[in-house]
Amino acid sequence: MDKNKLEFFFWRLLDNLINFFGIKRVPLFARVISGLFFYLIPIRKGMVIKNLTIAFPEKSEDEIKKLARKNYYCITVTFMELLILSRASQDDIMNMVESGSLEESRKRIKENKGLIYVTGHFGNWELAALYAGLYSNISLHVLVKKQRNPYVAEWMTKLRERFGNKEITLGVSVKELYKTLASGGTIAIVGDQRGPKDGIRVNYFNQPTMTFQGFSVLSLKRKVPVFVAFFIRNSVGKYRIKITEMSYDNLPENNSEAIQELNQRYMTLLEEAVREAPEQWLWMHNIWKYH
């Protein structure tokens, strides 16, 4: 059995196990599995601690380690919730949101002028896309980076598209995204991936941070509403929505400077959300590789 098939075998094994016991048992499974990875198989543990130390210089070494442990637990919960979402009903998904609303963005969607949702690797971003599509009764076009493992990638595609959303793959997506917005459609982008060394430089946790042009180029070209939305976990399977419509006011006239400013506004909103629940962001990502 090759590596990809072996990985997917364990993926499906855990999928069946979690769905057999149900979401109420997720906290127990997550504590055990995240503890295993944190203490015995510390994949990217050094990166998590490094990033947290940079972001929160006021915290002690002990506080950083405790926050890192919580981060492993939260990321494990997010993964297990994905397994639950793959079989959840529409009502189950809608009931996962306890507070906050996408009503304002839904009103703008009905204008059929196009709309962009931007989120981050925070809380549960896959739930956000499913919920947004169901709430507004639309086919949301979700920009994704394909998984290395083709079996996992196919599984994720089925999850993302099971209620009518459409997956658009990063790299061959620009024309498709423009086409979607031009026809009055809605797209969703996870905007916090690290950009290239010569990318758009912004400030994030007081650090120079490289980002992609991403949503900024699309939004400036089409002048469509942009909503920055995060689904913040209250408890396992229960969320609150934090959503802000991004302003086009007071942008620089120069296009490249306007792109940078929009990226900065997004990253500022992301930082505000992450500071509310720092354990829920994907600190395993080498966000500050380039300074």
Q: Is the pLDDT of residue 160 over 90?
A: yes
For residue range 206-244, list pLDDT tens digits in order.
999 999 988 999 999 999 999 999 999 999 999 999 999
Nearest CA to 176 out of 188, 168, 166, 184 is that of 168
What letters, b where the CB count within 10 A reaches 16 and e where it falls short, cover 159-184? bbbebebbbbeeeebeeebbebbeee
Mean of pLDDT over the chain:
95
What letters, b where the CB count within 10 A reaches 16 and e where it falls short, cover 212-223? bbbbbbbbbebe
Q: What are the sequence ranges of the domains in the chain?
A: 1-87, 91-279
Give pLDDT, residue 236.
97
d(CA 88, CA 147) in angstroms, rounded, equals: 22
Q: Is the pLDDT of residue 12 over 80?
A: yes
pTM (predicted TM-score) = 0.95
Give pLDDT, residue 104.
97
Q: List 123's β-bridge partners, or say none.
A: none
Q: Is the pLDDT of residue 179 over 80?
A: yes
Query: Which one-letter amino acid corresponds to residue 156?
Result: M
pLDDT category of residue 1 using cuts at 50, 70 and 90: low
Give pLDDT, residue 213.
86
Nearest CA to 214 out of 131, 128, 119, 286 is that of 119
For residue range 31-84, list pLDDT tens digits in order.
999 999 999 999 999 999 999 999 999 999 999 999 999 999 999 999 999 999
